[in-house]
Structure 1
Amino acid sequence: MKRYKIRWLSQAITRFVMVILLLVITLCFALMQGGFVSWFIFFMFLPFALYSIMLFFVPLKQFSVERTMLTGYLEHGDSLRMKMDLTRKSRFPLLYMVIQESMPSEIFNEEAADQTRHFFMMGMNKQLSWNYEIPNMPRGHHQLEGIELTITDFFGWVKKTTLLPAKRSVVVYPKVTHLIYTPLRLTKSSGAGTARNTAVRDTTMVSGIREYQPGDRMSWIHWKTFAKTQNLQTKEFEDQQSQEICLVLDGAPSALFEEQVELCASILSAVVSQHLSMSFLFAGEKQSYFDQIQTEEQLQRAMYQLAGIQSQPIEKIEYKYGQNNVLLNATMIYFVTSSLTSEWLNVLKRVSRKSQGAICFIVRAPAQSISEHEQKIVTIAKENGILVFPITPQQFANTFTEVLK
C-alpha cells in the first residue's frame, strides 16, 4: 500500500512540475515575443494552469465514502447490488472524477470491474450517490476494501488518485436446491429404502419449546404458552433412540467441487426444515465437523462454513480418515464426491463394517461418461455393501426420491 501511495505521489508531482514549466514557457514566450498573439496564448493558458495548480493542493482526505448492500442473503450465482455515498467537506469545483471499486482480482473479473467503474462531473456538489451491480458472484467470504478515487483537470495534466477505505465483508453462500429428505437404510439385499421410525420420541419428557411450524401435531402444541402470548409454540421431546447420520463432503480438488458443496448444503437445509438432525464432516486436508445439526442457528453456522471452504489436496486419506471417530461412530454415512477413489473406497469399507452402511453420491456432469477404472471401483463398492449413485445437478431435487429408486 505504501509503494502504491508513493507511486501516485511521484506521478502527481511530475505532472505538477510539468504544468509549472508550461506556464513559465508561455510567459517567457510572451515577454520575449511580445504582440497580441503571444500574450493571447499566455492568458488563454493561464486559467487552465491555475486550476491545475490549485487542484494539486486539494486534499483527498476530505473525501469519505459509505457503502450499503442492497441485497441480503447471497447464494452462488446471485448478483451483488451495492449503493455508494461519497461526501466531501469543501465545494472546490471538480470537473472529471473516476470512481471504481478497489477489487480483489480473485473474485472480480474484467466485466465486474467495468460494472463498478463510474465517471462523474461533480462540480461544486458536496455529496454524490450511485449504485452498481456485480452479476454471478462466486461462493466464498469476500472482503471489499474500498473505492479508488481519481480526480483530474481539463486536459489530464494533474491527476490525483487515492484509496478511500470502505471495508465490507460479503458472504456468498452455496446455492440450495429444494429437496425432500427421507432417511434411508440399507437392506440385506444391498438396496436402499426409507428408514421409518428412525427416532423414537418420549412424549412424556418435554425438553423445551420452539415456534410452531407447519406439519407439527396438534397434540404437541404448548397451550399454556399460547394462552399467555397468543403465539403457537410446539413442545420438543427427548429422543430415546436416534439414528446418527453423518454427511461427508470429499474435499479433494475437482471440477465439480462447487456442485458437491451445493448438494451438501441442500441436504442439510432439507434435514433441518423437517426437524431432523444430521452431522456434517468436511473431509479435506484440514477437516471441519459439525455435530447433530438440527436448529436454524446450527444450520447457519454450517452454511457459513460451507460458504468459505475450498478444495484442497489430501495426502494419506486412509491414514487421516480410516480410524476417524466421527465416521466410526456414525450409524449411516452419506458420502458426496465427484470421483470415488480406491483410497476413499477402503475408508468406506472399513467404517461401514461398524455402521449400518454407507451411501456414496457421485456428482457428475450431464454428459460425463464412466471410465472403466471407475466402473471397477463401483463394482467393488457394491460387493462390499456400499451403494453408489451417480447424480447430476439437475437431479438434486430428487436425490432421495427418483434417484434412489
Structure 2
Amino acid sequence: MKNVKRYTKVIGLFSLLLAMFIFTMFQGSFVSWFLFYAVCPFVLYSLALSFHSFHVYTVERKITKKEYSVGSAVDVYITVTRKSRFPLLYLLVEEQIEGTSLRPPQSLLFVGFTKTLTWHYTLEHVPRGEHVFQGIRLHTGDVLGLFHKEQMFKTEDTILVFPAYHELSYREFNRLWSGEQGFSQRARSRQSVISGVREYQAGDQLSWINWKATAKVNKLMTKEFDEQRKETFYIILDQSYTDSFEEMVSFVASFVHAALKRGIQIGWIDSMQNVYLPTSKGERHKREIFYDLARIQPSLNQSLPRDIRMGMHQAKLIVMTTQLTFEKLEHIYAYRNNQAVTCFVVKEQVKDEDYIVQEVALKQGVQVQFVISQTGGASKNDA
C-alpha cells in the first residue's frame, strides 16, 4: 500500500513538472520561465528523496555505564553514519525506550551534506527499574511535505537503576531487628561470645570497643558477637501497588544493606519473578538482592504469595508491605511454621485502623512494626 502511494505521488510530480514545462513553452514569457525554474528544484528534490533509502545508514548508541542509582544522570551518545552525501533538510532522531516512565528523547538535526552526525543527551533523575533502549527511529521529509521517510534501527541497550538506600546506625538497626522494646536483655546475653571485630559505627556501645584491635590499626574497632552471625531471616515483599511502594523498596534496600553489613544471613523470596535466594551473606549476595529490587515492579493484582518454599524452620520471616489488611494477615498466618514472623508496614501515616490490625496480629503471634516513610529514607514508629 505504501509503495502504491509513493508511486502515485511520483507520477503526479512528473505530470506536474511536464504540465508546467508545456505551459511555459507555449507562454514563453519571463515570468513563466522564472516560475518553472523556481519550482523545478523542489519537485526534483522530492522525486530524488522518494528513491533515497535509509539502508545505507548505520546508527550506534553509547551509554557511559550500565548500572546507576536512583536519581542519577545518564549520558547517552548517538552516532548516525551515512555512506552517501545525499542532502537532507533535516533528520529527526527519536529514542525508543520500553517499559519505563522515561519520556523518549528526540532531537531535530540539520544534516545538509554531512556524512556523520552525533547527538548527546542526558537523562536526569532516572527512576528505579530496568530501562530497555530498544532502538532508534529516524525521520526525514521534503519541503513540499509529499514524502516522509522513516526507519527503525534495532540497537538494544539496557541500564539498571538500583534503589536508593541510606545507612542505618547500629542503634537504629537493633531497634528494628529486636522489636519495639529495643535491643532486649535476652539479645544482650547472647552476645557473650565474641566472634570477631569490625569498624566502629554510630550507635555502638562504648563497652563494645576492642581497644587492643583499635591500637593495632589506629582506628576504632568494635567487637562482633556470635549471635549477630548466627541470625538468619527471609524477606518477602508485598508487591501490591500503593503510593508508598518506592519508599518501601528504599527501606528494604537500607535494611538489607545494614543486615548484611553486620554479618546476618538473609534469604530473599520474590514470587512474581520466581526469584528464590537461600540465606547467605556478603557483597555478592547483596548484589543479587539489589538486582531483584531494581527490577521489581508493583502489581495491581499480585499481593503476597500464597505459598512459600519450606526449609526455613530456623529462619526468621520478615514481611515488607505498605498496607496491612486482615486479608493479608491470613496469608501471613499461613507462613508461620514454628518460626518468628515480623511484618514491617511502610507508610506515610499510621491510622487508627492500622493499630487495630496490629493488635489482632500480635494476638496471633505476628509482630507488626510501622515505618513512617520520609524523603530520603524511612523511620520507625515506636507506637
Name the TM tier (shorter chain).
0.7 to 0.9
**Range that drifts further, 346-355 or 146-155:** 346-355
Which of the residues 143, 148, 153 maps onto 1:164? 153
Which of the residues 117, 132, 135 maps onto 1:128? 117
Distance 1:52 1:290, change over 3 A: same
Deviation of the 1:177 alpha carbon: 2.7
- Does 2:324 align with 1:340? yes
Which of the residues 328, 351, 360 maps onto 1:370? 351
- Measured against aligned partners, the alpha-carbon deviations of 1:101-133 in whole angstroms (never above 9, x if no partner) come to 1243x4246xx34xx221122122211111112
Task: For 1:126-205, list aligned pairs within 5 A.
Answer: 126-180=115-169, 182=173, 191-193=181-183, 195-196=187-188, 197=190
The 3-state SS of whatever aligns with 2:21 is: helix
Which of the residues 321, 324, 342 maps onto 1:359? 342
- Measured against aligned partners, the alpha-carbon deviations of 1:160-218 in whole angstroms (never above 9, x if no partner) come to 1111222111222222233236356658xx84426455796778xxxxxxxx9856989
Match of 1:82 in 2: 76
Deviation of the 1:82 alpha carbon: 0.9
Distance 1:315 1:75, change over 3 A: closer
**1:180 aligned partner, one-letter code:** S
Match of 2:47 in 1: 53
- Does 2:383 align with 1:383? no
Distance 1:218 1:17, change over 3 A: farther
Match of 2:288 in 1: 301
Aligned 8 A contact 2:304 2:331 in 1: no
Distance 1:30 1:279 in 2: 85
Cα RMSD for the two superposed structures: 3.7
Match of 1:38 in 2: 32
Deviation of the 1:258 alpha carbon: 2.2
What TM-score do you get using the length of structure 1 for normalisation?
Answer: 0.75
Distance 2:199 2:56 in 1: 55
Deviation of the 1:379 alpha carbon: 0.9
What TM-score do you get using the length of structure 2 for normalisation?
Answer: 0.79
Aligned 8 A contact 1:202 1:240 in 2: no
Match of 1:117 in 2: 106
Match of 1:233 in 2: none
Which of the residues 234, 257, 271 maps onto 2:259? 271
Match of 1:25 in 2: 19
Distance 1:258 1:56, change over 3 A: same
Q: How many percent identity over aligned positions?
A: 25
Task: For 1:213-362, list aligned pairs within 5 A.
Answer: 242-282=230-270, 284=271, 287-312=274-299, 313-314=301-302, 319-321=306-308, 324-325=309-310, 328-349=312-333, 351-352=335-336, 354-355=338-339, 357-362=340-345
The 3-state SS of whatever aligns with 2:374 is: helix
Distance 1:73 1:199 in 2: 42
Aligned 8 A contact 1:142 1:169 in 2: yes
Deviation of the 1:11 alpha carbon: 5.7
**Which runs of 5 or more structure 1 residues have no equivalent in the other structure?**
1-5, 204-211, 221-237
Match of 1:392 in 2: 372
Distance 1:343 1:200, change over 3 A: farther
Distance 1:13 1:270 in 2: 67
Distance 1:74 1:186, change over 3 A: closer
Distance 1:202 1:376, change over 3 A: closer
Aligned 8 A contact 2:62 2:78 in 1: yes
**1:150 aligned partner, one-letter code:** H
Deviation of the 1:352 alpha carbon: 4.8
Match of 1:107 in 2: 100
Distance 1:308 1:11, change over 3 A: farther
Distance 1:287 1:193, change over 3 A: farther
**2:344 aligned partner, one-letter code:** F
**Which runs of 5 or more structure 2 residues have no equivalent in the other structure?**
202-209, 214-225
Deviation of the 1:265 alpha carbon: 1.7
Aligned 8 A contact 1:63 1:86 in 2: yes
